[in-house]
Structure 1
Amino acid sequence: TEDNIDGYGITMAILYLVVCILGLAGNSLVIVAILKLDKMSSSTTVYIFNLAVADGLFMVGLPFIASQNFQNHWMFGDTVCKVVMVLDGINQFTSIFCLTAMSIDRYMALADPLRFARWRTPRWAKIVSALLWLLSLLTILPMALHFSAERGLCIPDLVSDAWWLGILSYTFVMGFALPFTVMTASYAALLLTLRARRLRAPPVNPESHRLERQLTNMVVAVVVVFGVCWLPFYTFNFCSLYQTGMVLSFARAFEFVVLLSYSWSCANPILYACLSDTFRRHFRTLLCPAAKSSPSMQCNTERYDLNDTGVRDVTILA
């Protein structure tokens, strides 16, 4: 009924608003923490900074998408449609590319830190990040410019089914399959390296076991959350090729998986900042200034001393 449709639309509009607020707040906190407290002191925080900027800007396009879904009409004009889609795509791909670069950075930092030290400076990370923004622009531009609002909705101007299938395949490979493969391979190689090192020379300090356990949990979180948030989005896009008419149930489900893909940007501050002892301390400083003067509120940071590898004070992400 019409009431049910309105109720569903209102619910989705509220969810979009919640995701947008949480995404902006979480990523803004990460940005402030890095600029004010960390000052980009490592390659990892450079990547996290660019990830947070991309995720935060990704949220900016959410109200436009939510408005179209709620009203079933694009009210901002053709130019704004193209601009929003280009910026949306750039931030989406930059976020994913930064995430992929971080997985390689994590491997170099923990598998063989001395060997890769000169490639893990903040200067190199800034150069790589700039190249990733450029790559994102080049990757998304061909598809984003084909979006048009001439028919009342900001949707791609389909040249043909074959053309759209090619675009979907291209974005799926660049935006999901390739990054997912690199991330999985990097983290798998890292876990295997740490395990082999532990078997060759069992550490005297059992605390190093906690590093592997925490790292394993992080790997599972990264792979699962990335897959859960993005795989349904691409699956529904491919399925849309075989929809003769936009069935209401399919349209609703598609609207939900779009929201799910945006919600991934809310998860990043949790997965890539809160898993870091350094960022937990930064957040405590920003959100609870009294913690600096009250011993009872001091953050209990967990540090790892890898005596068997010669690496001291290693944290998961900083």
Structure 2
Amino acid sequence: MNGRTTLLPPTENFTTLGNPEDDSVVSNDFSTALGALILGLVFLLGVPGNLFIIWSILARAKRYSVTTMLILNLACADGFIMALTIFFIIYLAKQQWVFGNPMCKLLFYLCNANMYASIFLITLMSVHRLVAVVFPLKVTFLFRKKIVLRVLISMWVLVMVMSVPSLVFRNVRLDKDEMNKTRLVCAPEHELPRHVRFQYAFETVAGFILPYAVIVTSYVLILKRLRQTKFRRNVRSEKFILAIVVMFGLFWLPYHVINMIQVAAEWYNENSSTRETLDYIAKSSRAVTSALAFISSCANPVLYTFAAKSYIRQNGFAFMARLFEGISQDQSGNKKNRFTGKTTMGTSNADSNSANCAAQNGDVE
């Protein structure tokens, strides 16, 4: 923890701190190199992938469902944050922050906002699926266009407010690593241990544990309902639903585990060997786990493409739009309108209502 320099460039508003929890956060060569590689791949895949989704919805989709509106918001959020990854790639590659203090605060604020927006949008999609499958007669009333727009606006306002700690607790500072090399880092600064516990615990509870619990509960009830029907074309749909849940948890869980490790470290004395171990784990893993979290923003286009692969040959570049419209042809050649919940033949009214509502909300063939 020693070796912090107090020589600051006179033209910059950099800060120092007596005992920050993240000294030399980019001094681990392996961690930062791996993180830069992951972010590079994320950038190349995520930017065009999310732009393609946005284009498919705005230019090629003939009608919008609730799920389509939520996916459009998710793609806009993910596409925007993917475009900003170039700054973090440079940061990790140079192992030094070169963009100034305002950009340090702004970029990490936007990343934090994207984290909340992504999980909240996925949660809204899961709740919409739950109502459509379990209470199909109420879905039209509860998810009217005006209500959905109001919910989305409220969600974005809430996201911006919840991300404020990233503006308050992050600054550029000068650090010296174990090799006595001075570097500028964009890192959290907490004057008191309770500030550390508040920020990281709040991120994990509000941005992962609570919404993810809603998602898992919703999908459990959805699968239970689908298994009670006689509509047997839902096997691939079940896999698709589980893939969404597992994918999100897989990429975000390591990030939140590191958050909890950081929180746990603050409960030990400064000279405790346990605290030193936990601090080392958090500092050496933060770059990689943050990069893994970014993958979730570029994985959705891949998942949608896999889900819509049966449309590619017939619809060409419009295949994604056809998926979002929720219109497809079953194996027997019968058309189903997945927005009205009616089918021409093959299932009972009750089963077709539940099955078609499930299909409307992302359950594809």
Find 1:219's aligned residue among 237, 241, 260. Answer: 241
Partner of 1:296: none
- Shift of the alpha carbon at 1:218? 2.1
For residues 115-154 of structure 1, what are the structure 2 equivalents within 5 Å? 115-151=138-174, 152-154=184-186
What is the DSSP-based 3-state SS (H/G/I as helix, E as strand, rest coil) of the residue aligned with 1:269?
helix
Aligned-pair Cα RMSD in Å: 3.1
Q: Distance in 2 between matches of 1:259 and 1:53?
A: 19
Partner of 2:339: none
Q: Distance in 2 between matches of 1:276 and 1:108?
A: 23
Offset from partner CA, 1:124-165 (integer Å, 9 cap, x none): 322221211111111111333321113321111112222111
For residues 37-52 of structure 1, what are the structure 2 equivalents within 5 Å? 37-38=60-61, 41-52=64-75
Partner of 2:268: none
Counterpart residue identity of residue 226, structure 1: F
Counterpart residue identity of residue 55, structure 2: V
Please say if residues 47 and 102 of structure 1, whose CA atoms lie closer than 8 Å, have aligned partners that are also in contact: yes
Distance 1:274 1:36, change over 3 A: farther
Alignment of 1:264 with 2:264, yes or no, is: no
Alignment of 1:82 with 2:105, yes or no, is: yes
Q: Distance in 2 between matches of 1:145 and 1:282?
A: 51
Alignment of 1:15 with 2:59, yes or no, is: no
Find 2:285's aligned residue among 229, 236, 253. Answer: 253
Alignment of 1:166 with 2:198, yes or no, is: yes
User: Higher mean Cα deviation, 250-259 or 224-233?
Assistant: 250-259
Q: Distance in 2 between matches of 1:281 and 1:40?
A: 21
Counterpart residue identity of residue 235, structure 1: V
What is the DSSP-based 3-state SS (H/G/I as helix, E as strand, rest coil) of the residue aligned with 1:148?
strand
Distance 1:9 1:153, change over 3 A: closer
Partner of 1:307: 348
- Shift of the alpha carbon at 1:261? 0.4
Offset from partner CA, 1:103-129 (integer Å, 9 cap, x none): 011112222222221222333322221
User: Higher mean Cα deviation, 271-280 or 83-92?
Assistant: 271-280
What is the DSSP-based 3-state SS (H/G/I as helix, E as strand, rest coil) of the residue aligned with 2:185?
coil
Alignment of 1:184 with 2:228, yes or no, is: no
- Shift of the alpha carbon at 1:189? 1.1
Bigger helix share: 1
Distance 1:283 1:56, change over 3 A: farther
Please say if residues 41 and 122 of structure 1, whose CA atoms lie closer than 8 Å, have aligned partners that are also in contact: no
Identity over aligned pairs, percent? 26
Counterpart residue identity of residue 44, structure 1: T
- Shift of the alpha carbon at 1:244? 2.7
- Shift of the alpha carbon at 1:91? 1.8
Counterpart residue identity of residue 156, structure 1: P
Name which structure has the greater RCO, CA cutoff 8 Å, separation 6+: 2
Please say if residues 39 and 89 of structure 2, whose CA atoms lie closer than 8 Å, have aligned partners that are also in contact: yes
Partner of 1:31: 54
Please say if residues 110 and 190 of structure 1, whose CA atoms lie closer than 8 Å, have aligned partners that are also in contact: yes
- Shift of the alpha carbon at 1:287? 8.0
Offset from partner CA, 1:258-284 (integer Å, 9 cap, x none): 111000111122335643589868973
Listed as ranges, the gaps of 5+ residues in structure 2 are: 1-27, 175-183, 266-274, 321-326, 337-342
Please say if residues 81 and 148 of structure 1, whose CA atoms lie closer than 8 Å, have aligned partners that are also in contact: yes
Counterpart residue identity of residue 238, structure 1: M
What is the DSSP-based 3-state SS (H/G/I as helix, E as strand, rest coil) of the residue aligned with 1:41?
coil
TM-score normalised to structure 2 length: 0.71
Q: Distance in 2 between matches of 1:278 and 1:122?
A: 29
